[in-house]
Structure 1
Amino acid sequence: MLITDVAEGVHLLQHANVNCWLLEDDDGLTLVDAGLPRTRPHLEKAVATLGHQMSDIRALVLTHAHFDHVGMARGLKKDLQLPVYAHPEEHELAAHPYKYAHESPILKYPLRYPKSLGAVGPMALAGALFVKGIEDVGSFTVGDTLKVPGRPQVIATPGHTFGHVALHLPERDAVITGDALVTLDPYTALVGPRLVAGAATADGNQAAASLDAIAETGAQHVLPGHGNPWDRGAARATEAARRNGMK
């Protein structure tokens, strides 16, 4: 599903409970996060709906390199010679997207939160179990304003993964939070601003501390890696995430 102009020139591609973001300006498109392998035809349709060709995507920027955020990356890089960028601490994970640190056993969550099967089931059907990693990933530095369409500013938000970043779009009053703050936790099926469960979070204390960086953007539009956009401001979103905690 494509939702256009969630913020000015920022478009949401939502498929199998995973979000990708398209940043649009006069230079073309930037894809933020690469969903799952079977998201590819949905991306192609979304790009066409926006009046673009796939060749108008100038870069893929990863908030982090879990399997559900790099699913299309390898194919896009091969087919479009698309440059892919991530924090240096994510490069090893990008190459091996299932080898991630997490605080809690994954298998306990379907038993404790049976509704989560309705969230992770579509992810599995979209190829979540068969993601191929990607190497030869470019780097950025925290504090950079990336020279790609949309000109996102890189903010450090480690904890979910050790090199996780958020992308601030000050001219669009928006912040893309990746999985540093979500409004749907696939592992519990709980909704509302929150941290992702310990099944997929490397360091919960660090993840909670990173909420400060999101709040400090003052952005009206909070754009997560899972769940619906939040339009009531970063401060309220992070306050709610702290209350909800990490399961």
Structure 2
Amino acid sequence: MKLAPHLHRIGNDIVAAYLIVSDDGITVIDAALPGHWKDLERELAELGRTPRDIRGLILTHGDSDHIGFAERLRREYGAPVFVHEADAHRARTGEKPKVSTGPMRLVPTLGFFAYALRKRAIPTAYVSEVVEVHDGDVLDLPGQPVIVGMPGHSPGSIAVHSRLADAVFVGDALTTRHVLTGRKGLQPAPFTDDPAEASASLDRLSGLDASWVLPGHGAPWRGSPAEVAAAVRAGGA
């Protein structure tokens, strides 16, 4: 789905990934679930591109619903997979601390897990080789993506800022649709390692200039990162 001239989304409001599209190639942000590979191929075909036009894939963190087709893209097409050093082990192995899910409602929770199964979430294809990145890095990829450290949801959670796309991709630093309650609007994401640290990290969004704030779960949000961060802190919008 085209959001803007250089910005596309695959997936839906349950699980999503994004493409930064330029004349020099494509940068993918997150890899959703393994079954989203066909969604990726369809979106690329509509653009007149193929997976060989993807110059790199950036993971906002190493959780299983964000690394879905990453290993396939790396193995079959040689696209490097970038992840913050603090989440590199998680992306390679799936190891993570036990976390609190927070509130849950039966129907949305079952819907989330049913969708994950349809998109072949099991077994998880972990990423055997990653390129580690750090806060402040500017990657030599289409869209000149900038890495913004957002620890809390996981130790190596990041946002990715691209002026070309006029967007900041926030992964699970926040959500606009809680996958376990179905509640829509700006709010903290579930399955967070350290909620207090995640809340503090929202300050990192305030200085970014963008028209889109794009979460891994929920609808794309039009608005300034500073306004979004304030709304999440205030309890959602």
Secondary structure of 2:153's partner?
coil
2:99 is matched with which residue? Answer: 103
Structural RMSD (CA): 1.8
Q: Which runs of 5+ in 1 are unaligned?
A: none
1:192 is matched with which residue? Answer: 185
Could you tell me the TM-score, scaled by structure 2's length? 0.93
What letter is aligned with 1:120?
F
1:153 is matched with which residue? Answer: 146
Matched, 1:42 2:39: yes
Q: Which moved more, 1:7-16 or 1:161-170?
A: 7-16
Residue of structure 1 aligned with 2:48, choices 51, 59, 63: 51
Q: How many Å apart are 1:177 and its aligned residue?
A: 0.7
Secondary structure of 1:244's partner?
coil
1:208 is matched with which residue? Answer: 199
2:226 is matched with which residue? Answer: 235
Could you tell me the TM-score, scaled by structure 1's length? 0.89
Mapped to 1, the partners of 2:12 and 2:220 lie a distance apart of 14
Residue of structure 1 aligned with 2:117, choices 121, 124, 140: 124
Q: How many Å apart are 1:8 and its aligned residue?
A: 3.6
Q: Answer whether contact 1:94 1:133 (CA < 8 A) is retained.
A: yes
What letter is aligned with 1:184?
R
Matched, 1:88 2:80: no
Higher helix share: 1
Against the structure 1 CA distance between its residues 172 and 46, is the aligned structure 2 distance closer, same or farther, given a 3 Å change threshold? closer
Q: Answer whether contact 1:101 1:161 (CA < 8 A) is retained.
A: no
Residue of structure 2 aligned with 1:76, choices 70, 73, 89: 73
What letter is aligned with 1:167?
V
What letter is aligned with 1:166?
A
Q: How many Å apart are 1:204 and its aligned residue?
A: 0.3
Count of equivalent residues: 236
Secondary structure of 1:68's partner?
coil
Mapped to 2, the partners of 1:102 and 1:27 lie a distance apart of 41
- 1:158-210 deviations in whole A, cap 9, x for unaligned? 1001001101113443111111121112122221111112xx11100010011
Matched, 1:170 2:171: no
Mapped to 2, the partners of 1:145 and 1:81 lie a distance apart of 21
Q: How many Å apart are 1:128 and its aligned residue?
A: 2.0
Q: Answer whether contact 1:102 1:203 (CA < 8 A) is retained.
A: no
Q: How many Å apart are 1:102 and its aligned residue?
A: 4.4
Secondary structure of 1:212's partner?
helix
